[in-house]
């Protein structure tokens, strides 16, 4: 079949792109013809045998038109019309496209092309994109009073922002998604969409499962990986390391990633005299991260928002690494407390330190958790993911006959 795949970033930028390119390469290997649509960027990559088109995002055009282009990006609509006319795709699958707007989806629907939309975050159902209210999963859909009284994580409370979501996003953008076949990459996203009347099927993200995993080396090395930003909560792990090092001076924290909070965190590490035990590795490729798993005992995740999944945790489990995490909704879907890791109350650095020390001191526990982590990861195989996606494709093509 000929498939139009759309994602705003056409280069490795995060978990959404990991799954997007994984699906693209799989479909290509199965001899499906792939056409892609993404945003203009000097970082965009080229893939042999794939014809790629690019459009301006609503942020790459007139600032005065941003509110309109957020809902209907005329440039993206025209590019999509061109794709439909020249390439004649049988089906369209949209991943993370909020910066492009839903206008390409509108173009496909107008031409009666079956549209699949994958949701990997809360972008369309929360003005803050965090779906987090006072540390817990927000249980209500967008409303004026509810959103204005929220303790936001990413965007300052703004009447204009909330009104925009109420008047445009809630009634126009979400109406478009009620006409598409929707996929949620986790239960929390599924629940968030359902609050706004958007039905979806849960298709979990998948992980690469190495055939052989190394035995636990008991290196006393701990890994934290991701974007170093406020919502990722690295500072709470740094605080925990103060207690860990007092008990276990040989323990080391390896930080893989970069971000806005990086320099601030580095200064705190130096001020607290932790720089001998906390190492910043910078941005690492997927292959480099996979190699690093051989030299760490476990992974720590510290989301202080309601992380919808936490793909890095699942990837670590695939290599037999237990995971200790704050108890956000996403990590709770893959971590069973005291089985393949530990779940800690959000922002509880002391509780986090105790569990890190407990696991580092107990070699038998690490080895047991390691086996259990791998077993859990096997539930999220690429094969299962691809089969689920292909079944959805076939269903939609049959309905369109």
Residue ranges per domain, the chain? Answer: 2-207+381-399, 221-380
Whether 365 contacts 344, CB under 8 Å: no
pLDDT surpasses 70 at 293 = yes
The whole-number pLDDT of residue 155 equals 61
Range 214-219 contact pairs with CB under 8 angstroms and sequence separation of 24 or more: 214/293, 214/294, 214/319, 214/320, 216/297, 216/320, 216/363, 216/366, 216/367, 216/370, 217/294, 217/295, 217/297, 218/297, 218/363, 218/366, 219/252, 219/295, 219/296, 219/297
**What mean pLDDT is predicted for residues 15-25?**
91
List pLDDT tens digits, range 204-244. 999 999 998 988 999 999 999 999 999 999 999 999 999 99
| Structure tokens belonging to residue 340 | 């393949």
pLDDT surpasses 90 at 360 = yes
Distance CA 349, CA 236 (A): 5
One fold for both 2-207+381-399 and 221-380? yes
List pLDDT tens digits, range 115-146. 999 999 998 998 888 899 888 898 888 888 88
> For residues 164-176, b (16+ Cβ closer than 10 Å) or e, as one string?
bbeebbbeebbeb
Q: What is the pLDDT confidence band of residue 295, given thresholds at 50, 70 and 90?
A: very high
pLDDT surpasses 90 at 65 = no
Instruction: Among 3.40.50.300, 3.40.50.720, 3.30.465.10, 3.40.50.2000, name the CATH number for the domain at 221-380.
Output: 3.40.50.2000
State what percent of residues in the chain have pLDDT above 70: 99
The whole-number pLDDT of residue 81 equals 98
**What mean pLDDT is predicted for residues 303-322?**
94
List pLDDT tens digits, range 45-63. 999 999 999 999 988 988 8
The whole-number pLDDT of residue 167 equals 84
> Collapsing DSSP states into helix, strand and coil, what is residue 287?
helix
Q: How many residues belong to the chain?
A: 401
pLDDT surpasses 90 at 368 = yes
Whether 39 contacts 10, CB under 8 Å: yes
**What mean pLDDT is predicted for residues 387-394?**
96
List pLDDT tens digits, range 267-291. 999 999 999 999 999 999 889 999 9
pTM of the model: 0.89
Distance CA 140, CA 98 (A): 21
pLDDT surpasses 90 at 170 = no
Among 26-35, 153-162, 215-224, the least confident range = 153-162
**What mean pLDDT is predicted for residues 32-42?**
97
Instruction: Kindly provide the residue ranges of all beta strands, DSSP E only, lying in 293-396, ordered along the sequence.
Output: 298-301, 323-326, 341-344
pLDDT surpasses 70 at 104 = yes
2-207+381-399, CATH topology level: Rossmann fold (3.40.50)
The whole-number pLDDT of residue 153 equals 63
The whole-number pLDDT of residue 156 equals 63
Q: What is the pLDDT confidence band of residue 158, given thresholds at 50, 70 and 90?
A: confident
Q: What is the pLDDT confidence band of residue 9, given thresholds at 50, 70 and 90?
A: very high
**What mean pLDDT is predicted for residues 303-325?**
94
Average pLDDT of the chain is 93
The whole-number pLDDT of residue 152 equals 72
């Amino acid at each position: 079949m000929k498939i139009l795949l759309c994602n705003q970033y056409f280069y490795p930028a995060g978990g959404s792109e990991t799954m997007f390119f994984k699906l693209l390469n799989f479909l290509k290997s199965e001899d499906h013809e792939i056409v892609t649509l993404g945003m203009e960027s000097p970082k965009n990559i080229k893939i042999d045998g794939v014809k790629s088109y690019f459009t301006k995002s609503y942020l790459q055009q007139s600032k005065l038109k941003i509110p309109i282009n957020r809902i209907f990006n005329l440039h993206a609509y025209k590019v999509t019309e061109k794709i439909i006319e020249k390439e004649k795709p049988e089906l369209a699958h949209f991943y993370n496209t909020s910066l492009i707007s839903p206008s390409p989806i509108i173009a496909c629907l107008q031409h009666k092309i079956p549209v699949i939309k994958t949701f990997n975050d809360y972008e369309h159902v929360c003005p803050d994109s965090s779906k987090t209210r006072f540390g817990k999963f927000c249980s209500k859909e967008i409303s004026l009073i509810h959103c204005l009284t929220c303790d936001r994580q990413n965007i300052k409370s703004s009447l204009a922002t909330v009104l925009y979501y109420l008047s445009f996003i809630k009634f126009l953008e979400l109406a478009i998604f009620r006409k598409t076949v929707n996929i949620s990459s986790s239960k929390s996203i599924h629940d968030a969409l359902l609050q706004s009347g958007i039905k979806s099927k849960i298709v979990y993200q998948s992980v690469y499962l190495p055939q052989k995993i190394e035995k636990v080396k008991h290196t006393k090395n701990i890994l934290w990986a991701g974007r170093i930003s406020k919502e990722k909560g690295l500072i709470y792990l740094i605080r925990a390391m103060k207690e860990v090092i007092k008990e276990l001076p040989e323990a080391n924290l390896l930080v893989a990633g970069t971000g806005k909070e990086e320099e601030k965190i580095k200064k705190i590490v130096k001020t607290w005299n932790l720089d001998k035990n906390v190492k910043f590795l910078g941005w690492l490729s997927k292959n480099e991260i996979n190699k690093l798993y051989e030299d760490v005992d476990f992974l720590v995740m510290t989301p202080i928002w309601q992380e919808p999944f936490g793909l890095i945790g699942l990837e670590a489990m695939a290599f037999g690494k237990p995971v200790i995490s704050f108890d956000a909704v996403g990590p709770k879907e893959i971590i069973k407390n005291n089985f393949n890791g530990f779940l800690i109350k959000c922002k509880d650095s002391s509780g986090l330190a105790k569990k890190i020390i407990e696991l580092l001191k107990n070699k038998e526990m690490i080895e047991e958790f390691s086996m259990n982590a791998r077993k859990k990861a096997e539930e999220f195989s690429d094969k299962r993911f691809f089969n689920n996606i292909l079944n959805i494709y076939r269903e939609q093509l049959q309905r369109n006959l």
